[in-house]
Amino acid sequence: MERRGFNSSFGMLMAAVGSAVGLGNIWRFPYIVGTNGGGAFLLVYISILVFIGLPILISEMVIGRRARSDSVDSFKKLAPGKKRYISGLISVIASFLILGFYSVVAGWSLEYLIKSITNQFSGSSPQVIETMFTSFTSSPIKPIVWTFVFLFVTIFIVKSGVASGVEKVSKFAIPVLFFIVLVLGIRGLTLEGGMDGLRFLFYPDFSNFTMEGFLAALGHSFFTLSLGVGIMITYGSYAKDDENIGKSSLLISICDTTIALIAGIAIFTSVFTFGLNPGEGPGLVFVTLPNVFPLMPGGYLFGVAFFLLLALAALTSTISLLETLTAFGIDSMNLSRNKAAIGIGVCAFVVSIISSLSLGDTFSIQIGGLSFFDFVDKLTSNYMLTIASFIEIIFLGWFYKREYLKDELTNHGKIKASFFKVYYFMLKYVVPIAMVLIILSSFGILKSA
């Protein structure tokens, strides 16, 4: 049977960028930068992205297109009779857990979309806007209703198929998102505190940067590029034979980083203008930006557009998570697309309910002193994604034939892959060593000076 896939190279790029660009860029990245020393974190983060994230992204695409299957079955095909698919299984569990807590925040963006449509931010003081956020996220019912709506739409799109669902939505959402973020970034630069915001974001002050920052940078680089969750393996499996994987991976990373940086600029310029705390944490986007819009000419429309697009960015990412899980359901469990998408979507909703409730007082589950929500976030992005990716690259760099990799990256000799030598060196030596060092230091085994 012909495997369904993307219709065009642009469509595949937009779908992959759609997966990469999400709440991670607009909601998570700025607050991680904020709590980990600004520019110092940024420097480490971008180095990790180039030297570790990009080679892994290329590798995942190669695995998927070579095997043309889901994230578990691909390893069974490339390494028959071996247990390499264990990384695929970790990925599947991680993507399921991420879908659970991620949809909750995606649901918040819908609530905020309605709040901006009904003009609830205008005239409210920063304190009122802050209380609005905490009382909403800790309330037992409303966030869960929005999460349900969000997952419902996600399931509907994934059910519609790769080209007519995933690709179609991404081709529309990503260009529009880019435009809006750009406008907000430019507007931020014209604000009074613009320079202070830029200094915070770009000036590397290492006195504020801890070993924990390393792990956060590593974890986020995986999270933002959607690595270690099998998504890029799945999307690679839908790529056309003549897709230039090296080039597409580079473009995906550039688009992802650019959007995160512009979002960071938009946010920190306003944080400093209004004297808010840059280390605010998860509330940064939902507390800070609603303060900015009423001050802009046409701010009402920008506010509405921003939260609509935040929701769209989240949507293209939840789609990618559910698509990966659905591909696993289809390829590894022989389910129909409908059954897989609906069944897995409903199970993820249960995780969402627990995550959402853990932020309030009604029914709060705590693990190791963290709310269930924070626990799942940390467990997946700091550990599971890293471990799954580590197993993947050890397999590809040390146990898979170099010629096969080259063959895939050159489209069987049809295109040049001049970066191959550098990529292979990174894959085999630099990435594993860097990852081991960072993981050891994160467990406190390697002490910083």
Question: How many whole angstroms separate alpha carbon 53 and alpha carbon 253?
Answer: 8
226 binds ligand PFF (CB under 6 A): yes
In this complex, which beta carbon is closest to ligand PFF, that of residue 57 or of residue 305? 57
CB of 260 to ligand PFF, least distance (A): 8
In this complex, which beta carbon is closest to ligand PFF, that of residue 20 or of residue 90? 20
Among 5, 6, 17, 22, binds ligand PFF (CB under 6 A): 22
Q: CA angle, 295 as apex, 294 and 300 as ends, to 5°? A: 35
What's the burial of 414, exposed, middle or buried (CB within 10 Å: 0-12/13-18/19+)? exposed
Among 11, 24, 88, 193, binds ligand PFF (CB under 6 A): 24
For tokens 């806007």, the residue is: 129
CB of 18 to ligand PFF, least distance (A): 9
321 binds ligand PFF (CB under 6 A): yes
25 binds ligand PFF (CB under 6 A): yes
Among 13, 15, 17, 23, binds ligand PFF (CB under 6 A): 23
The first and second tokens of residue 108, run together, are 């918040």
CB of 227 to ligand PFF, least distance (A): 8
Which SS3 state, helix, strand or coil, does residue 141 take? coil
In this complex, which beta carbon is closest to ligand PFF, that of residue 69 or of residue 316? 316
Count of residues that bind ligand PFF according to CB under 6 A: 16
CB of 340 to ligand PFF, least distance (A): 17
Per-position DSSP letters for 218-284, written without gaps between them: HHHHHHHTT-SSSHHHHHHHTS-TT--HHHHHHHHHHHHHHHHHHHHHHHHHHHHHTT--TT--TTI
CB of 70 closer than 8 Å to CB of 87: no
Among 231, 351, 394, 427, binds ligand PFF (CB under 6 A): 231
224 binds ligand PFF (CB under 6 A): yes
233 binds ligand PFF (CB under 6 A): no
In this complex, which beta carbon is closest to ligand PFF, that of residue 317 or of residue 371? 317
The first and second tokens of residue 265, run together, are 């600029």
The torsion defined by the Cα of 132, 135, 136 and 137, in degrees rounded to 10, comes to 120
18 binds ligand PFF (CB under 6 A): no
Among 75, 96, 121, 223, binds ligand PFF (CB under 6 A): 223
177 binds ligand PFF (CB under 6 A): no
197 binds ligand PFF (CB under 6 A): no
Among 87, 95, 253, 442, binds ligand PFF (CB under 6 A): 95
Which one of 4-12, 158-166, 314-322, 428-436 is the stretch in contact with ligand PFF (CB under 6 A)? 314-322
In this complex, which beta carbon is closest to ligand PFF, that of residue 288 or of residue 380? 380
Residues 6+ apart with CB under 8 A from 276: 126, 270, 287, 288, 291
In this complex, which beta carbon is closest to ligand PFF, that of residue 71 or of residue 269? 71
Question: How many whole angstroms separate alpha carbon 250 and alpha carbon 218?
Answer: 18
Which one of 15-23, 144-152, 190-198, 300-308 is the stretch in contact with ligand PFF (CB under 6 A)? 15-23
Question: How many whole angstroms separate alpha carbon 284 and alpha carbon 282?
Answer: 6
> What secondary structure letter does DSSP report for 341?
H
What's the burial of 217, exposed, middle or buried (CB within 10 Å: 0-12/13-18/19+)? buried
Which run of H or of E encompasses 366? strand 366-367
Among 248, 273, 317, 352, binds ligand PFF (CB under 6 A): 317
Binding site for ligand PFF (CB under 6 A): 19-20, 22-25, 95, 98, 223-224, 226, 229, 231, 317, 320-321
